[in-house]
Amino acid sequence: MSTPVLETENLVKVYGRGAARFDALKGLTFEIHDGESVAIVGKSGSGKSTLMHLLALLDEPTAGVVALEGSPVSQLDPKKVSRLRNETFGFVFQQFFLNANQSVLDNVTLPLKIGGWGRSQRNERGMEVLEQLEIADKAKNRATDLSGGQKQRVCIARALVNRPSVIFADEPTGNLDSATSEVVEDILFGLHRDQGITLVVVTHDEELAGRCERRLHMQDGLIVAEEHGVITPGQLDTTFDPAQLGLEDEEDRA
Ligand SMILES: Nc1ncnc2c1ncn2[C@@H]1O[C@H](COP(=O)(O)OP(=O)(O)OP(=O)(O)O)[C@@H](O)[C@H]1O
Ligand SMILES: [Mg+2]
């Protein structure tokens, strides 16, 4: 098999110390292969975003290894890590807000600015992705003057602008109505299908998780189950029963 695009070995993340110590990740070992779609699911507080930040090289583990294309990241020069992050990854994270005072186009082309592209090339590429996401007519608007679904499409445009090979999305449909969620999902899975982009998605939405080829179920900082295969909505009730996976709380079962 080819070298995984991302792999972890015994990944541990501890926040705080002493009485405030919290073990958010307790030793995770898994691989993500090029062109895969993977959902990370589990209850609030189970460690999904923490794991996503480590995989996306936005934070460092307390112990264990994250390797990108076979190279342990901790052994790379930090400048190379930022360059790799900027060139290889796209982020659709709710905490990466759009800059309210900048235009949609300037928000979208920020990763290219960081990458040192000149303005006219940036704008040309920025308009290309805005057209792809059907919001080119909003390019000159301020980012605040958009609907929730439009903002999310701008975030996706920004994630795509540098032609990443991996997109990380943390609750990409979290604040959207069901029709807009479907549009956003179709965009993400369309990119996965047509351009072979690897998708790593954190979600509470079972339907979105079911569209991924693999699901990692997290509980209390551990991966407690792994499922393979796309689940069509009709199958959801039986296949996605949390009781079968032993993920229910005692209270929930009562
Ligand atoms: N900076 C931090 N300092 C201390 N504890 C933290 C920090 N960030 C996260 N935690 C704790 O680590 C645990 C995992 O948090 P994380 O954000 O990864 O959860 P999550 O699975 O993404 O939850 P949600 O579904 O609510 O987004 C939580 O108990 C949280 O309180
Ligand atoms: Mg989270």
83-139: per-residue pLDDT in tens?
A: 889 889 999 886 667 888 899 999 999 999 998 999 999 999 999 999 988 899 999
Distance 238 CA to ligand 2 centre (A): 26
Distance 119 CA to ligand 2 centre (A): 34
7 touches 30 (CB < 8 A): yes
Rounded CA gap, 66 and 31, in Å? 10
User: Is 250's pLDDT higher than 60?
Assistant: no
The finding on whether 45 has its CB within 6 A of some atom of ligand 1 is yes
Percent of the chain at pLDDT above 70?
A: 90
Grade residue 177 by pLDDT with cuts at 50, 70 and 90: confident
Ligand 1 nearest-atom number relative to CA 42: 21
Region 204-208 average pLDDT: 90
Grade residue 234 by pLDDT with cuts at 50, 70 and 90: low
Percent of the chain at pLDDT above 90?
A: 65
Rounded CA gap, 63 and 26, in Å? 10
> What integer pLDDT is reported at residue 100 of this predicted model?
86
Structure tokens at 240: 């996605």
Domains and CATH numbers, the chain: 6-253 (3.40.50.300)
Q: Which of these, 43, 35, 1, lies nearest to 167 by C-alpha position?
A: 35
Distance 180 CA to ligand 1 centre (A): 27
The finding on whether 219 has its CB within 6 A of some atom of ligand 1 is no
Better pLDDT: 120 or 183? 120
Mutational pocket test of ligand 1: of 28, 49, 204, 223, the residue with most ligand atoms within 8 Å of the beta carbon: 49
Region 63-91 average pLDDT: 92
Ligand 1 nearest-atom number relative to CA 13: 12
Region 209-219 average pLDDT: 96
Distance 48 CA to ligand 2 centre (A): 6
Distance 221 CA to ligand 2 centre (A): 12
Non-local CB neighbours of 72 within 8 Å, separated by 6+ positions: 65, 66
Give the range among 113-117, 162-166, 170-174, 219-223 with minimum mean pLDDT.
170-174
| pTM score | 0.87
Q: Which amino acid is at 167?
A: I
- List of E strands, 133-240: 166-170, 198-202, 214-219, 222-228
Backbone phi, psi, residue 129, to 5°: -75, -35
> What integer pLDDT is reported at residue 1 of this predicted model?
58
- List of E strands, 144-230: 166-170, 198-202, 214-219, 222-228
Element (H, E) at 32: strand 22-32
Grade residue 12 by pLDDT with cuts at 50, 70 and 90: very high
User: Is 52's pLDDT higher than 50?
Assistant: yes
Alpha carbon 152 to its chain's center: 13
Q: Which ligand is nearest to the CA of 41?
A: 1
User: Is 252's pLDDT higher than 90?
Assistant: no
Q: Which of these, 93, 111, 7, 23, lies nearest to 53 by C-alpha position?
A: 93
Grade residue 238 by pLDDT with cuts at 50, 70 and 90: very low
> What integer pLDDT is reported at residue 232 of this predicted model?
76
Mutational pocket test of ligand 1: of 41, 46, 171, the residue with most ligand atoms within 8 Å of the beta carbon: 46
User: Is 166's pLDDT higher than 80?
Assistant: yes
Non-local CB neighbours of 171 within 8 Å, separated by 6+ positions: 94, 202, 203, 204
